[in-house]
Amino acid sequence: MATATQPESLKVVQPSVPETKPDPKPQRLPLGPIQTVHVFWLAGMSCDGCSISVTGATNPGIEGLLLGTVPAMPKVILHHPVLSVESGEGFTQPFKDAVAGQLGAPYVVVYEGSVADERIAERTGGYFCAMGMEAMGEGEGGESRPTPTATWLKRMAPGAAATIAIGTCATWGGVPSAEGNPTGAMSLMDFLGKDYRSAFGLPVINIPGCAPQGDNFTETVFAVLLFLQGLGPLPTFDELGRPAWLFAETVHRGCTRAGYYEEGVFAKNYGDPECLVDIGCWGPVVNCNIVKRGAINHMGGCMEAGGVCIGCTMPGFPDKFSPFYKAPPGAFFSTAASMSVGAVIRRLRRLSNRHSNTEVRWDVLDHVPSGWGNLKAQPLALKVTELFYQKWQHFRAKKPGRPPGEEDRFWGGDRPGNRADYHDHSATREDTDDRS
């Protein structure tokens, strides 16, 4: 965010921007094999975290898209205020060409950060977020002024094949639009309006997250480009324009700590391995795939790294999830329920876990040949429980092994080698061979 004060004489000639609706100039672009596609990256009220996360994408990686080495993908020409080599007029000219319809190739607009209400800044002759300069007066030597990125968005969105909001600031307003903000910051949906459609008839595509996973972005771009190539169906988006296959499930359903929640075991301190809901995790009600996908290259992610979910992918973020790091009110009821049921489930599972942690052979011989600990195969109580459990497990089902009545086992008569080869001699109970 930046502000600048302009001379009094300039204020009168400033166009009143931004309006909250784009110019309705739908342009139809041909569907079919596309050689190249331009991606115009605009940054509003952003921390550049979305850009950083996209550079970490691996599947597909941004390098493959830029080099045109991803199968079935057109080559992507990225115009990015930080990553592009060009600067000044050389950088902004393609943006102007796109606005003028002179680019000669389809383009996608990506907007990072929320859209400030530049009318507020304009009252004092300043601006919040801008890129490039444009002349304000007639002829050479006239005054010029920074062009708000909101203005670029308004001009470019109608002709774009797709407009993608990346990150929670762009998708839902995010932190810059929190209660009490002075900028009137808003999301792309709020700025462009309900009736906005791209040149291909798409509303704004939303990829939330603070920062979003880079792979969520590149995968969505990949899917949209496949569609634009005529090689794939239009990817499924939910009612808020999120890629449905990425945001349909809650964090909790894919969380590696969800088993603890189910068994009613909760962390009390940061660093504990159990479920984090008691120390402020909102994962059960938040649509996000961070734990399934990981942060970068399938590594990390909030709960994997020990952090609670603060709902950063949600339209209600941040106001509806604050104060952060305090247990959500609903957690009181759900944790009480899972603690009471989970206590029973946990104990039963422990029994089964113990039973499955022994070879059948160890159970029969009542001996575990482990050098790591002095283990009994199974205590009597467990044997009785498991007897019942096994009956139930194999009820009307074929049991593994030989038919009932054939008592000999592999480690009996057919045991390889000589008895003396076996150090512990514990395997002799059914050993009927005479090779020793």
Residue owning tokens 């009307």 = 396
247 binds ligand SF4 (CB under 6 A): no
- Cα dihedral 183→129→198→109 (10° resolution): -140
Please identify the residue of the shown chain whose CB is closest to the bound ligand SF4.
Answer: 283
Q: For ligand SF4, which is the closer residue by CB, 169 or 288?
A: 288
257 binds ligand SF4 (CB under 6 A): yes
Q: For ligand SF4, which is the closer residue by CB, 115 or 276?
A: 276
Residue from 276, 312, 314, 427 in contact with ligand SF4 (CB under 6 A): 276
255 binds ligand SF4 (CB under 6 A): yes
Q: How far is CA 116 from CA 127, 146, 177, in A?
A: 9, 14, 9
Burial 96-109 (b: 16+ CB within 10 A, else e): bebbeeebebbbbb
Radius of gyration of the chain (CA): 31
SS3 assignment, position 183: coil
277 binds ligand SF4 (CB under 6 A): yes
Give the range of 120-128, 185-193, 200-208, 249-257 binding ligand SF4 by CB under 6 A: 249-257
- Smallest gap from Cβ 332 to ligand SF4, in A, equals 13
Q: For ligand SF4, which is the closer residue by CB, 38 or 293?
A: 293
Residue from 247, 261, 317, 321 in contact with ligand SF4 (CB under 6 A): 261
409 binds ligand SF4 (CB under 6 A): no
242 binds ligand SF4 (CB under 6 A): no
**Do the Cβ atoms of 241 and 202 come closer than 8 Å?**
no
Selection from 228, 172, 250, 178 nearest residue 204 by Cα: 172
Residue 431: both structure tokens together: 């050993």
Residue owning tokens 């057109």 = 74
309 binds ligand SF4 (CB under 6 A): yes
303 binds ligand SF4 (CB under 6 A): yes
- Smallest gap from Cβ 323 to ligand SF4, in A, equals 17
Q: For ligand SF4, which is the closer residue by CB, 236 or 256?
A: 256
- Binding-site size for ligand SF4 (CB under 6 A) equals 14
Q: For ligand SF4, which is the closer residue by CB, 54 or 267?
A: 267
Selection from 78, 79, 74 nearest residue 62 by Cα: 78
* Percentages of the chain per state (helix, strand, coil), in multiples of 5: 35, 10, 55
258 binds ligand SF4 (CB under 6 A): yes
* Helix (H), strand (E) counts: the chain: 15, 7
Q: For ligand SF4, which is the closer residue by CB, 154 or 252?
A: 252
Residue from 204, 275, 295, 382 in contact with ligand SF4 (CB under 6 A): 275
SS3 assignment, position 162: strand
The whole-angstrom separation of Cα 403 and Cα 52 is 62
Residue from 18, 159, 173, 284 in contact with ligand SF4 (CB under 6 A): 284
Those residues whose C-beta lies under 8 Å from the C-beta of residue 164, and which sit 6 or more positions away, are 108, 109, 110, 111, 204, 205, 206, 207, 217, 220, 221, 224
Those residues whose C-beta lies under 8 Å from the C-beta of residue 225, and which sit 6 or more positions away, are 34, 37, 73, 74
Q: For ligand SF4, which is the closer residue by CB, 149 or 216?
A: 216
70 binds ligand SF4 (CB under 6 A): no
Give the range of 72-80, 170-178, 274-282, 349-357 binding ligand SF4 by CB under 6 A: 274-282
- Smallest gap from Cβ 29 to ligand SF4, in A, equals 41
Give the range of 63-71, 110-118, 167-175, 278-286 binding ligand SF4 by CB under 6 A: 278-286
160 binds ligand SF4 (CB under 6 A): no
**Do the Cβ atoms of 80 and 147 come closer than 8 Å?**
no
List interacting residues with ligand SF4 (CB under 6 A). Answer: 251-252, 255, 257-258, 261, 275-277, 281, 283-284, 303, 309
